[in-house]
Chain A
Amino acid sequence: MLQRLSHLLGVETLTREQINFILDQSKPFQEFQRHPLKKLATLRGRTVAIAFFEPSTRTRISFTTAAARLGADTMALQAEASSLKKGESLIDTVRTLEALRPDGIVMRHSSSGAPEFVAQRLEVPVLNAGDGTHEHPTQALLDALTIRDRKGKLEGWNVTILGDILHSRVARSNIHLLAKFGARITLCGPAMWCPPELECLAPNLRRTPRLEEALEGADVILVLRVQTERLHEPALAPEEYIRGYQLTPQRLKLAHPEALVLHPGPMIRGLEIDSAVADGPQSAVLEQVTNGLAVRMALLYHLIGGAAADAPHPAKERPNASD
């Protein structure tokens, strides 16, 4: 029997079975996105707190939409609007949130481990929507779903991750997840963003500063966003990054002819990726967005659904109620 999740804090601690279960459960929700009427009543009466202590547009909208399509209500707590800037501690903010009685908390925070800190103190399920440079589990899961759909399976691919690996929680979650499925992972980026410590993240992991070498034979290329604010520490001119690391159509030819290109968004066209690649047939960036909704709906359904904490009575046995 599959071990039931009570929170989603990272993919590092998930088993292959749990990951496969989440991906399988995302399939019906993928198909649901094509329904003319995209509103379920499954989580009617439940409230999901969307607590983002760090700016985000895409992930926040994705989680909010996923909750809405399941029929749940959301309450948004954003860094700008919250008391954090007034000096309130994280635990006080979270206790206040808990006093509003949400049925689940989706949380993004600039400190690695913040969602776990909260999960240990509150009764409600916590979903990590990105914490510091630690993990971004739903991104890795939606990437895995996209790879599985486009390439037929998840196991055994040559995966190249390109960009600022050091500061990327997307990279870390993807490394943890794909390594569990036997991926041979190549990390590629400027030396300061790709330090040797990263090699301890997974077996079969190699680093190279040379893009041509990293792309050779790649089946999946994950292009990370370049955070322009980081280009200055230490100084790296954007032109230099473009010259060395931009994924262009010519460079993509070095990879496997059917290599899949992923990007967590938001893309900066002309910086880390050329428009012709971003819009090309090998790119799956828009499927990633739709798959993000499906994965998040599946997770909200399984984590927040089930017996509510204040459910009036335990399961009543119901022969023939339903299969």
Chain B
Amino acid sequence: MRVVEKRQLLSAKEIDRTLHRLAHEIVEKSGGAKDLALIGVRRRGVPLSQRLAKLIGESVQAEIPVGTLDITLYRDDLSTIGPHPVVQSTDIEFSVDDRDLVVVDDVLYTGRTVRAAMSGLFDLGRPRRIRLCVLVDRGHRELPVEATFVGRTVETSDTEVVEVRLQEVDGEERVMIVDRVP
């Protein structure tokens, strides 16, 4: 199996602009930032949630709490994959009870990660509301899940992969569509 880059979806500049817009939308649709907190899904949802929290915080002049969620233990495919994936820590320092949470991830695909993230959050308490923010929505849902805040929607085929590269994780900054050819 070879992986071929087909095209770039977002440049570093476009990612930055998209995040500014998403931060703005979150504030606007939340009627401020009261009780608002962001939850980044490991791995690439984490830097995205931190950047968004900073942008939102600057616009509303308040500190926005950010947490990190590892969904490994909540996956529904553990019995079909080989060796178990390594469990990372979940770091949510604040109580999620009655919070207005925005779950942040890089790509929305089948919806299963989001399902797992919601199960994980419910184990921590009872949020007042959970919404979803993704950088890219690539379609192919297998569950009735939609994002409230979407950076870019893109049509993809089954064999394509949306690769998000972020400075904090990958040392470069762009989003591309790659294809896996046999």
A301-B87, A316-B80 known; A322 vs B162 contact (CB < 8 Å): no
- Measured CA separation A42–B123 after assembly (Å): 13
- Measured CA separation A207–B162 after assembly (Å): 62
- Measured CA separation A316–B71 after assembly (Å): 19
Look across to chain B and name the residue whose beta carbon is closest to the beta carbon of A301.
B84
Pair A321/B110 contact, Cβ less than 8 Å: yes
Q: Which of A31-39, A91-99, A231-239, A273-281 lies on the face that meets chain B?
A: A31-39
Shortest beta-carbon distance, A34 to chain B, in Å? 10
Look across to chain B and name the residue whose beta carbon is closest to the beta carbon of A39.
B123
List A300-314 residues whose CB lies under 8 Å from chain B: 301-302, 305-308, 311-314
Look across to chain B and name the residue whose beta carbon is closest to the beta carbon of A46.
B79
A320 on interface, CB distance cutoff 8 Å: yes
Name the B residues within 8 Å of A321 (CB-CB).
77, 109-110, 112-113
Name the A residues within 8 Å of B124 (CB-CB).
35-37
- Measured CA separation A25–B86 after assembly (Å): 7
B73 on interface, CB distance cutoff 8 Å: yes
A28 on interface, CB distance cutoff 8 Å: yes
B78 contact from A42, A316, A320, Cβ within 8 A: A42
Look across to chain B and name the residue whose beta carbon is closest to the beta carbon of A322.
B113
Pair B87/A36 contact, Cβ less than 8 Å: no
Name the A residues within 8 Å of B113 (CB-CB).
321-322
Total residues of chain A contacting the partner, CB 8 A: 34
Contact bitstring A205-221, B, C-beta under 8 A = 1, else 0: 00000000000000000
Name the B residues within 8 Å of A36 (CB-CB).
123-125
A35-B124, A39-B123 known; A25 vs B79 contact (CB < 8 Å): no
Pair A322/B180 contact, Cβ less than 8 Å: no
B90 on interface, CB distance cutoff 8 Å: yes
List B144-173 residues whose CB lies under 8 Å from chain A: 159-162
Pair A298/B87 contact, Cβ less than 8 Å: yes
Pair A37/B123 contact, Cβ less than 8 Å: yes
B83 on interface, CB distance cutoff 8 Å: yes
Total residues of chain B contacting the partner, CB 8 A: 38
Name the A residues within 8 Å of B71 (CB-CB).
322
Query: Main SS of chain B's interface residues?
Result: loop
Pair A31/B74 contact, Cβ less than 8 Å: no
**Which of A28, A31, A298, A315 is packed against the most chain B CB atoms within 10 Å?**
A28
Shortest beta-carbon distance, A262 to chain B, in Å? 24
- Measured CA separation A307–B109 after assembly (Å): 23
Pair B112/A311 contact, Cβ less than 8 Å: no
- Measured CA separation A154–B125 after assembly (Å): 35
B107 on interface, CB distance cutoff 8 Å: yes
A31-B89, A323-B42 known; A315 vs B80 contact (CB < 8 Å): yes
Name the B residues within 8 Å of A4 (CB-CB).
83
Look across to chain B and name the residue whose beta carbon is closest to the beta carbon of A70.
B73
Look across to chain B and name the residue whose beta carbon is closest to the beta carbon of A308.
B79
Name the B residues within 8 Å of A322 (CB-CB).
71, 75, 112-113, 116
Pair B79/A311 contact, Cβ less than 8 Å: yes
B81 on interface, CB distance cutoff 8 Å: yes
Shortest beta-carbon distance, A116 to chain B, in Å? 22
Pair A41/B119 contact, Cβ less than 8 Å: yes
- Measured CA separation A12–B114 after assembly (Å): 41
**Which of B44, B81, B113, B124 is packed against the most chain A CB atoms within 10 Å?**
B81
A40 on interface, CB distance cutoff 8 Å: yes
- Measured CA separation A311–B80 after assembly (Å): 6
B21 on interface, CB distance cutoff 8 Å: no
A27 on interface, CB distance cutoff 8 Å: yes
Name the B residues within 8 Å of A302 (CB-CB).
83-84
Pair A315/B82 contact, Cβ less than 8 Å: yes
- Measured CA separation A51–B107 after assembly (Å): 45
Name the B residues within 8 Å of A45 (CB-CB).
79
Pair A315/B87 contact, Cβ less than 8 Å: no
Chain A to chain B: the 9 pairs with minimum beta-carbon distance, closest first = A319-B161, A320-B109, A305-B84, A37-B123, A323-B43, A28-B87, A42-B73, A28-B89, A306-B84
Binding site for B on A (CB under 8 A): 4, 25, 27-29, 31-32, 35-37, 39-42, 45, 298, 301-302, 305-308, 311-316, 318-323
Binding site for A on B (CB under 8 A): 42-44, 70-71, 73-75, 77-84, 86-90, 107, 109-110, 112-113, 116, 119, 122-125, 138, 159-162, 180
A319-B161, A322-B75 known, 10 other contacts, Cβ within 8 Å: A36-B124, A37-B124, A39-B123, A41-B74, A42-B78, A45-B79, A306-B78, A307-B80, A319-B180, A322-B113
Q: Write 13 A-B pairs (CB below 8 A) sorted by A numbering.
A: A25-B87, A28-B88, A40-B74, A41-B74, A301-B73, A301-B84, A301-B87, A306-B83, A311-B80, A321-B77, A322-B75, A322-B112, A322-B113
